[in-house]
Amino acid sequence: MVNDEVAAKRGGREITQSERDWYDAADDAETVAADRFVSTAPATMAGLAAAIAWLLEYDRQCTLDTSGQFLRTLAASPLLVGG
């Protein structure tokens, strides 16, 4: 949100409360989705490939926290432990 505030001020406007609310809701939704993602081990090779592809894209713009958490979940996948 800080970058948006700087851009808004440079453009001669203020961030509105509805914009802050929208940002907060989107941030909360992303957190919930990431939490669900990192706690769900893939059950198929296609799921494993999709999860890895998503992490590679997601972590390009973010910290590596999500991928690190998911690697712990991934280690429990029956695809990797021979289950």
Q: What percent of the chain has pLDDT over 70?
A: 84
Cα–Cα dist 66/83, whole Å? 24
Each residue of 5-14: pLDDT tens digit?
A: 777 788 888 8
Tokens of 22: 């929208």
Sequence-ordered list of residues with C-beta below 8 angstroms from that of 8, at least 6 positions apart, any chain: 14, 15
Claim: this prediction has a pTM higher than 0.85: no
Listed by start position, the domains of the chain span 2-81
